[in-house]
Amino acid sequence: MAERPDKLPEWATVDEIDPVSGQSNVVEPPPERKESGWTRREIPPRQWFNWLARTVGGWIEWARDEIDTLISRVTTNEGDIAIIESDLSDATNLPTPNDLARRDAAGRMRAADPVDLQDVVTKAFVANPANSSLTQNGYYDLPGGLIVQWGIFGDGSQLGANGGTFTYDFPKPFPNQCFSVIATFNKGSIDGGTWGLYSDIVSASQFSVTYDPDADAGNDTTNDLQYSFAIAVGY
């Protein structure tokens, strides 16, 4: 490939008036001469030749500037392409817990395949695992700030025939408010009558459960009511 010239074919770039003839050094030929061009043995006026050389040089300069601009854009695009190629090389289509979607090696966006049932739940709710505890007495933070808590409460001792009201701590205090708490108790050996149970919200960190042995005016003499099962919702 030939090397690029470092000089433009500049010619008659300055308008001048000849002091003898009083004519300009550059004159555009009339349209009919442009169509037919010079004839055999014709010596064209210098002003016409100067106009032709100036016009050709101007177009060459314009083309050079346009080519330089395109080269600059191509260089920038090559840099962008290199960045994209680097990103794609790091992409993966393997399933990963807690990711809803990902880009595969071809650059396409796809939903990540769940690896197990717990991963499906995590993807569906987009919960923050760091703020959740999936244990026997635990809690789960949902999008928007809603929190669900659950557990088995009580020290395992028998309540006896008199019942009573017992206060328990939530697995973690609700940051703002507890909306609702529902409780029941484990049913073991109950001698006659029916026990009643009532739950109430004490605060954002506690709730109470009342065991009533006289719900049907009966009298329970023996029982093994030892625990309360509860679930609460708040934010």
Whether 51 is in a domain gets the answer: yes
Query: What's the whole-number mean pLDDT along residues 90-100?
Result: 52
Residue 1 lies in a domain: no
Is 64 among the domain residues? yes
CA 18 to chain centre: 72
Enumerate the H helices of the chain as residue ranges.
31-36, 46-89, 117-125
Same domain flag for 145 and 227: yes
> pLDDT tier at 55 (50, 70, 90 boundaries)?
very high
The residue range of the domain holding 184 is: 127-234
- pLDDT tens by residue, 11-31: 999 999 999 999 999 999 999
Same domain for 218 and 140: yes
Place of tokens 């197990």: 116
Mean pLDDT (whole number) for 141-157: 85
86 and 147 together in one domain? no
Verify that 62 and 84 share a domain, yes or no: yes
| Residue 109 included in any domain | yes
Do strands 228-234 and 147-153 pair parallel, antiparallel, or not at all (unpaired)? antiparallel
The total domain count for the chain is 3
Sorted by sequence, the CB contacts under 8 Å of residue 30 that are 6+ apart come out as none
- List the CATH number of the domain containing 191: 2.60.40.3940
User: Structure pTM?
Assistant: 0.44
Under the banding of pLDDT at 50, 70 and 90, the label for residue 84 is: low
Are 136 and 223 part of one and the same domain? yes
160 and 218 housed in the same domain: yes
Pair 145, 220 in one domain: yes
Q: Which residue has the higher pLDDT, 154 or 66?
A: 66
Environment class of 213 (CB within 10 Å of its CB; exposed 0-12, middle 13-18, buried 19+)? buried
The CA-based dihedral angle spanning residues 183, 187, 192, 197, taken in that order and rounded to the nearest 10 degrees: -10
